[in-house]
Structures are given as structure tokens and as C-alpha cells.
Amino acid sequence: MKSPILLYDTTLRDGTQGENINFSADEKLEVARKLDDMGFHYIEGGWPGSNPRDMAFFKLAQRASFKNATLTAFGATRRPGLLTEADKNLQALLESQTAAVALFGKTWDLHVQGILGITLEENLAMIRESVAFIQKNGRAVIYDAEHFFDGYHANPGYAIDTLLAALEGGAGYLVLCDTNGGTLPHQITDRINMIKTELAARTGSDPEHLPFGIGIHCHNDCGVAVANSVTAVQAGATMVHGTINGYGERCGNADLTAIVPILCLKMGLTCMSAENLAGMKKLSRFVSETANMIPVNSRPFVGESAFAHKGGIHVSAVMKDPRGYEHMDPEVVGNRRRVLVSDLSGKSNIEYKARELGIDLNGNGFDSQKIVSKIKAMEQQGYEFDVADGSFKILVEKFTKQFESLFALESFRITVEKDKDKPCTAHATIKIAVDGQYEITAAEGAGPVSALDNALRKALDKFYPHLDAMRLVDFKVRVIDGRAGTAAKVRVLIESRDQNDVWSTIGVSEDIMEASWMALADSFQYKLSKQD
């Protein structure tokens, strides 16, 4: 039976070294709870000796209960010339009160002699003594061999000596780190096989049954961190380090949202239950939202575009058998199949999308080919329906005479005022009709679209009092063809959401406010029809 693979998440430590990635102590605890719920085996919470925020997190975590994960504190070996008992960083690791500690030490002689400026022997003593100090204080020690693959390439014998020093101190896991992200998959395989053989010879063990575990920690500077991690598992690693969404310094770390499905679904290895795997997309989105980062649509397995189909031939095949253009069932990782509608669409796209949105085409005598022609003509004018499901639904309903307008615009007026010492303010007045009744209201906002949004909400509230759950979360403006200067057409995309759904709408016009109104009105019509 194959050994289970241990998943070690370092989003809260290594992930926060990525550009623009920040978590408060409270946010770290929220993420840690989610990771624990998903069944991750280790959660690296931070470096308590390096900053007050991480120490605050570990104090919060001491009052929390984790069902599945072992919370882990991260830190460095003792400083040169210090006793372990006198090293404040090592003391902070113990004060974090985690059951496990990840200690990193120097493997590459370049760092030892050229950067730290110490002898090779002193570095070995720092590793051995630090691991022993933490281990004797009742913590399980995971040793991170920093820059291991570069160190092994430069000086193989010394790199192995550093691993042996960690084992002599009592480390249970040796994690081989591709810290600079410059190693390639075939090199990972070669190095791990050689390392297993050399460590077995030096410790009197069987290379395939070593008395300690081997882990892998890869960075993505060559774009192969996931491939390197998977290759390492094939070569015998049983612990995989990574971050959610691949967040991390420079080009990021190995992305666990890709590694876990590959290990479970493609390699048949035990590392996460099917029930938890189905929450992978939600976890990805939760971490993105908490980090205030825009989700990457093209991210494998969990991205919005991972199972999206645009070409008509592809969609026709998927309707007959999804295996024709999908390598797996998207629902296994909590994702969904999406069919995009654009000028590349065929009738299959329209029929699939209409069915997905609950629009009946078959019994109404409407020709999906005519709808395709209409959409292609509109996309020539600047529309993009593959990113505006809400507007597409309304368009098809109008075309097939199934649309029921839940409000109608009579007029609106917007004024923008600028005082010399104050920022701009905007005021909107709007008149709408609902079932023959008219409502006129006014509101202000941070800008003209905000003011119009507030005025429309205020007017609709009299007729539809449950719109407070709806929020506009994104607003984008694109100039379609800049050669016309200020008279050029603009495309406005609005993304809205409520507690259950996210939808996008679009407007195109030479006037930015008219385009904004078209997208805004579609968004409210979509929400009201869904609510109705």
C-alpha cells in the first residue's frame, strides 16, 4: 500500500512574502480554520521571532481547536556564536506552543561562507544544536534545507552533511527546498534518488525505507513548481509544501490547489478526502478574498476558465460527451463547466447556455442560429457576452419574447460638483415606472455611477424591498477603439453579487454614462427576475 502524502501549507508564512499579500492575525486564524476543515495535515502559521503579528496569531491559535492539522511555527537555526538557550528566535518558537516546529538552515556553502561569513563546521553545529534544542523541548522538528538543490549542485558532500546534522539533532522530516526556483523536474528526480542512496549508506538504512521522511518545497521561478513537487513525490517524497493559489515571493510557491487534485485524481495517492477535495475552489476563492487579491481565471482546476468552452465545435462535443474536451469532472474540485458566448459561438453554445440559464428555446419556435447571428453582430459593435452572463440572459429573453421588464427608465439626470479644496461629489435624480406607477428619487455618491446606483436602489426599494443583499463589486471601463478620441465607444462591465450568486452585465455606447446605465439596469433586472 502506498504511503499517504502529507500536505504542508505555508500560505500564512511563505505566501505572505508575495507582493501585496497581507493577512492580519485574525485573518490568519480564519484561513487556518479553513485549511484545517479541508484536512491539511500541517499549517505553518508564521515566524513568531520575526514580527509581532505572527506572535499575535499564535496567541490567538492557542485558544483555537484544530481537528485535522498540526499547527507549525517557523524559524531559523540559532545565530552564530550563541547558545541555543540564549537565542531569542528559538525561544519565540517554543513560546508559540505549537506541536511542531519547522527549522530552516543553510545548505549551500555560498550562503554559509559568503553571506553569513561563518565556517562550514559552525553551520553544521548550528543545525544540529538547534534541532536538538527544539526536539528536547517536546516539539516535532521538520527541517527545511534551504537552497538544497543549489547547495547540492555546488558541493554535494557538504549538502549531505547538513542533512545528517539535522538527523543527528532529531529531525523527523528533511524538506528539500528549491528556494531559488531554478531546478527542473528531471534534476529533482536525479537528486532525490542520489540523496536517498547517500543518506541510506551514511545511516545504514534501506533507501526505500528510510527511518525519516523526505519533503519537498518548491518555488515557481521557472514555472515548474507544481511539476517539481509531483516529480519529487514520484521519487519518494511523502511531504509536500506549498501555498494556496501559489502565493509567495517573486514568482510564488508551488500551488496546492493544483498539486492536491493531481496527487489524488491523477496519481491515485491518499492525501485528501473526496468530500474535502470538492471544496478546493471555495478555498481558493476564500484565500483570494481574504488576501484582497483578484482570482486568476486561468488557474488550473479552480479558476473560472478552467472548464470554460468558447469554440462552437468544442461546445458541441462537450454536449455529447464532456470527456471530449475536459480532462476531469469539474465538480470533483468544486468547479463547474462554463460555456462562453461570443463571436466564436455556434448554435451549440447558445443552446447549452440557454439551458444553463433556464431559458426554453425548443418549444418556442426560436432559431438558435438567428440568436448566434445577433450576438456576433453585437460583438462587432463592442459587446463581449462571454464575460456578461447576466446581459446575455436578458438579451436572449428579449429576442425570444420571454423577457418581462420589472422596471422601466423614464429619465435620469446626473450632476458632478467640484470645489477647489474638496473632491468631486455626484448627485443623481431618477424617474422609473413599475406597473404603471412612477417613482422619482435623488441620491448622491462617490462618483456619477455610484450616485446613479444609489438613486436606482432608492427608487426600487418602494416596490422591491429586498435589494439590500445585492452589491456591485467591480466596475470596469474599456475604450473599444481609441482612434476616435473622446468620441470613441466605451464598454462598461459591472460585476454584482448577492449571498448566493455572482453575475456580470455589460453596456456599450459612445457615452460612458449611457453604457454604465445599460450595464447597471441589466444587473438590477437580472437580480429582480432571479428574486421573483
**pLDDT tens digits, one per residue of 190-207:** 999 999 999 999 999 999
CATH of the domain at 482: 3.30.160.270
In the prediction, which pLDDT does 1 show?
A: 39
Same domain as 193, residue 49: yes
Q: How confident is the model at residue 28 (pLDDT cuts 50, 70, 90)?
A: very high
Q: How confident is the model at residue 80 (pLDDT cuts 50, 70, 90)?
A: very high
Residue 68 lies in a domain: yes
Same domain as 130, residue 25: yes
Contact 434, 407 (CB under 8 A): yes
470: Cβ–Cβ under 8 A, 6 or more apart, which residues?
Answer: 496, 497, 498, 524, 527
Contact 14, 243 (CB under 8 A): yes
- pLDDT of 275 higher than 90: yes
In the prediction, which pLDDT does 432 show?
A: 95
**pLDDT tens digits, one per residue of 422-439:** 888 899 999 999 999 999
Same domain as 386, residue 413: no
Residue 277 lies in a domain: no
Same domain as 486, residue 344: no
Residue type at position 459: A
Same domain as 88, residue 12: yes
Same domain as 419, residue 333: no
User: Which helix (H) or strand (E) element contains residue 70?
Assistant: strand 70-76
In the prediction, which pLDDT does 364 show?
A: 53
- pLDDT of 267 higher than 60: yes
Residue 317 lies in a domain: yes
Residue that has been written with the C-alpha cell 466564436 in this structure: 344
Average confidence (pLDDT) over 48-57: 91
Same domain as 344, residue 445: no
Strands 308-309 and 42-46: unpaired
Query: Percent of the chain, pLDDT > 90?
Result: 67
- pLDDT of 22 higher than 70: yes
Average confidence (pLDDT) over 271-291: 92
Residue type at position 70: T
d(CA 68, CA 87): 31
Mean pLDDT (the chain) is: 90
In the prediction, which pLDDT does 443 show?
A: 95
In the prediction, which pLDDT does 482 show?
A: 65
In the prediction, which pLDDT does 336 show?
A: 85
Global pTM reads 0.75
- pLDDT of 367 higher than 70: no
214: Cβ–Cβ under 8 A, 6 or more apart, which residues?
Answer: 173, 174, 175, 176, 192, 195, 196, 232, 236, 237, 238, 239
Query: Percent of the chain, pLDDT > 70?
Result: 93
- pLDDT of 532 higher than 70: no
- pLDDT of 338 higher than 90: no
Question: What is the tally of structural domains in the chain?
Answer: 3
- pLDDT of 182 higher than 80: yes
Angle, CA 314 vertex, CA 367 and CA 362 arms, to 5°: 25
d(CA 297, CA 300): 9
Residue 284 lies in a domain: no
- pLDDT of 451 higher than 90: yes
Least confident range from 181-185, 215-219, 231-235, 288-292: namely 288-292
Average confidence (pLDDT) over 48-76: 94
Given 246, 272, 298, the domain boundary residue is 272
Average confidence (pLDDT) over 67-82: 96
Same domain as 421, residue 361: no
Residue 83 lies in a domain: yes
Residue 302 lies in a domain: no
d(CA 279, CA 287): 12
Q: Which of residues 168 and 419 earns the better pLDDT score? A: 168
Residue that has been written with the C-alpha cell 467640484 in this structure: 418
Average confidence (pLDDT) over 314-342: 82
Kindly write down the DSSP assignment for every residue of 154-191, as one continuous string: H-HHHHHHHHHHHHHHT-SEEEEEETTS---HHHHHHH
**pLDDT tens digits, one per residue of 105-156:** 999 999 999 999 999 999 999 999 999 999 999 999 999 999 999 999 999 9
Same domain as 419, residue 315: no
219 — phi, psi (to 5°)? -105, 165
The answer to whether the Cα torsion of 392, 393, 398, 400 is positive or negative is positive
Long-range contacts (CB closer than 8 Å, 24 or more residues apart) made by 507-512: 507/391, 508/381, 508/382, 508/383, 508/480, 512/477
Interhelix angle for 25-38 vs 52-61, to 10°?
50
Same domain as 248, residue 103: yes
Least confident range from 50-54, 241-245, 440-444: namely 50-54
Residue 422 lies in a domain: yes
Least confident range from 56-60, 420-424, 518-522: namely 420-424
Given 338, 359, 391, the domain boundary residue is 391
**pLDDT tens digits, one per residue of 226-266:** 999 999 999 999 999 999 999 999 999 999 999 999 999 99
Same domain as 267, residue 122: yes
Average confidence (pLDDT) over 345-349: 62
Give the range of the structural domain holding residue 467, as residue numbers without chain letter. 408-531
Given 359, 391, 423, the domain boundary residue is 391
Q: How confident is the model at residue 16 (pLDDT cuts 50, 70, 90)?
A: very high
Residue that has been written with the C-alpha cell 473632491 in this structure: 423
Residue 476 lies in a domain: yes
469 — phi, psi (to 5°)? -80, -15
- pLDDT of 400 higher than 90: no
Same domain as 178, residue 53: yes
- pLDDT of 35 higher than 80: yes
d(CA 322, CA 272): 25
CATH of the domain at 44: 3.20.20.70
CA–chain centroid gap for 244, Å, is 6
Hey, what's the cell of 245?
493559489
Hey, what's the cell of 405?
421588464
Q: Which of residues 340 and 320 earns the better pLDDT score? A: 320
Average confidence (pLDDT) over 459-483: 84
